[in-house]
Amino acid sequence: MKPRKQQPRDEERPGLRPAARPSFTCPRCTRTSHHPMDLRYGWCGHCNDYTGAPTP
């Protein structure tokens, strides 16, 4: 069995850094999501509710 090729760490990957990605922080529980649909609809997976204002 061939050993799996190790994936590069986030610091070594080109593109957006985690801090530069758009994010949504829930006003109720203060958890942050970087998923684009959570940002778009104001969804908090922890609260299981739409807690933010939808963005266009």
Segment 7-41, tens digit of pLDDT: 666 555 566 555 567 888 999 999 999 888 888 89
pLDDT-based confidence at residue 48 (cuts at 50, 70, 90): very high
Q: What angle do CA 16, 21, 22 make, to 5 degrees?
A: 155
Both tokens assigned to 13: 């990957």
Single-letter amino acid, residue 15: G
pLDDT of res. 29: 93
The CA distance from 50 to 15, in Å, is 29
